[in-house]
Amino acid sequence: MDKHTGKVRFGVVGTNFITDWVIAGARQDERFELAAVCSRKQETADAFAAKHQIPHTFTSLEEMAKSPLVDAVYIASPNYLHAEQSILCMKHGKHVLCEKPFASNAREVGEMIIASRTYNVTLMEAMKPTLTPNFLSVRENLGRLGTVRRYFSSYCQYSSRYDKFKEGIVLNAFKPELSNGAMMDIGIYTVYPMVVLFGRPDKVDASGIVLSSGADGQGAVNFEYDGMNATVLYSKIANSSLPTEIQGEDGNMTLDRINIISKVTYTPRLAAASGKGPVAEPQDISAVTDRDEYYYEVAEFIDLVLSGRRESAINSHEHSLITLEIIDEVRRQLGIVYPADQE
């Protein structure tokens, strides 16, 4: 932390659109200071630095990790690099906010958690929906549903990169060597909130379509909990307009989109009827949000850093680990192997 300003000085790794979005949200927090960018090519680092008014550039992550100019690092590199780069930064005493998915697999997540404890630094997965005011509304209103019987979530978004794939050009989104695919990219948005709300499932049953590159194009996963079922749908080869819904014995709650929750409604269950009774009116329980959607994950992370806590209570190490354990099992059932799985 900068002793003079009280700000947390960030270095960023990765110069794609997601970094642009996170920076825009982060700058709504006055405690955030963007101090450095690291890119393999100097010209890329220079261009990104000019675009965002970043004072320092690096082409070596180790040099940035060692630098006294940086307190924390935001990592938005390809998935297969997340664990290695996070651990390198933590070894040099840097706090790490790492983009989702946290790592290629649960083994790597375990290594990241050990590094956070060993070097006593903050480590958090940048899973944004679970830290937003609307997800807080979901958590606060969950009790109104009575006994929860089902969680259903869908995130299906046709990828522009799939058009190229059909032309025979395999871009990063569908490359197993980068630990990519539909579940890692967008399916995780349906799984992580489920884990935050309900913990580890007892059983996982997955089906899906594996593309010729060896990455998954879409999938459907059924989960069993004690007295409750869960189902998630995800795809990068078709669209869906289905919302996310949590169903309980006393009512149900609907979230318009699980990746960007802008509307949450609660519908109470009326007295049992034979199909002709009155229809319950949905109640809008959405939170008023005046901040950028990426603001909240950065604010949570800065709170942790400034208070000396290693992990978030919501985007906790355990929640990130369980999520990757689930994804590992989904991949096992679909026959998807990443080079990163070989120790």
- H or E segment and range at residue 110: helix 106-118
Query: What is the torsion angle, in degrees rounded to the nearest 10, for the CA atoms of residue 305, residue 54, residue 127 and residue 253?
Result: 100
Check whether residue 56 and residue 113 sit in a common domain: yes
- Torsion angle in degrees (nearest 10) through CA of 180, 184, 185, 186: 150
* Mean pLDDT score, 322-329: 98
Would you say the pTM of this structure is higher than 0.85? yes
Q: What is the largest CA-CA distance in the chain?
A: 69
Is residue 75 located within the same domain as residue 207?
no
With a cut of 80, say whether residue 272 has pLDDT above it: no
Q: What pLDDT shows up at residue 339?
A: 96
The helix (H) or strand (E) run that includes residue 164 is helix 160-166
Peptide bond between residue 101 and the one before it cis (omega within 30 degrees of 0)? yes
If you write DSSP's letter for every residue of 232-288 in order, what string do you get? Answer: EEEESSS-----EEEEESSEEEEES-SSS---EEEEE--S--SS-SPPPPPEE-PPP
Could you give the number of structural domains in the chain?
2
244 and 214 in a single domain? The answer is yes
Any idea what the CATH number is for the domain that residue 52 is in? 3.40.50.720
Residue 269 located in a structural domain: yes
CA dist list (Å): 104 to 17, 18, 77, 158, 328: 21, 19, 12, 23, 9
Q: Which of 293, 314, 334 is the last residue of a domain?
A: 293
Reading phi first (left if > 0) and then psi (alpha if -120 to 50, else beta), residue 8 is in: beta
Asked if 150 and 301 count as a contact pair (C-beta separation under 8 A), the reply is no
Determine the pLDDT at residue 308. 95
pLDDT tier for residue 273 given thresholds of 50, 70 and 90: low
pLDDT tens column, 40-69 = 999 999 999 999 999 999 999 999 999 999
CA–CA gap between residue 300 and residue 38 (Å, rounded): 23
Closest CA to 79 of 174, 161, 189: 174
Q: Which domain holds residue 279?
A: 130-293
**254 in the same domain as 176:** yes
80 belongs to a structural domain: yes
Same domain, yes or no: 94 and 123 = yes
Q: Are residues 302 and 287 in the same domain?
A: no
Q: Which token pair is 28? A: 């709504």
Assess whether 234 and 302 both reside in one domain.
no
Which tops the pLDDT comparison, 278 or 217? 217
Tens-digit pLDDT profile for residues 214-242: 999 999 999 999 999 999 999 999 999 99
Q: Predicted confidence band at 159 (pLDDT cuts at 50, 70, 90)?
A: very high
| In a domain? residue 2 | no
Residue with tokens 């603001």: 295
The pLDDT of residue 164 is: 93
pLDDT over 80 at 39, yes or no: yes
Assigned domain for 123 exists = yes
Q: What is the mean pLDDT of residues 133-143?
A: 98
Task: For residues 240 and 306, state if they share a domain.
Answer: no
- Domain-embedded: residue 219: yes
Average pLDDT over residues 13-38: 96
pLDDT at 1: 67
109 and 215 in a single domain? The answer is no
Please give the share of the chain, as a percent, with pLDDT higher than 90. Answer: 92
Average pLDDT for 2-26: 90
Is 117 part of any domain? yes
Are 48 and 115 found together in one domain?
yes
Bond before 78 cis per omega within 30 degrees? no
Whole-number mean pLDDT of the chain? 95
> Which residue did the predictor score with more confidence, 275 or 174?
174
Tell me what pLDDT residue 289 has: 86
Tokens read off for 180? 């990519």
- Taking residues 153-174, what's their average pLDDT? 94
Assigned domain for 257 exists: yes
- Last residue in a domain, options 293, 312, 333: 293
Between CA 46 and CA 39 the distance in angstroms is 9
Q: For position 249, which CATH number holds? A: 3.30.360.10
Domain assignment of residue 53, yes or no: yes
Q: Over 70: is that where the pLDDT of 4 sits?
A: no
Q: Could you tell me if 185 and 226 lie in one domain?
A: yes
Same structural domain, 97 and 154:
no
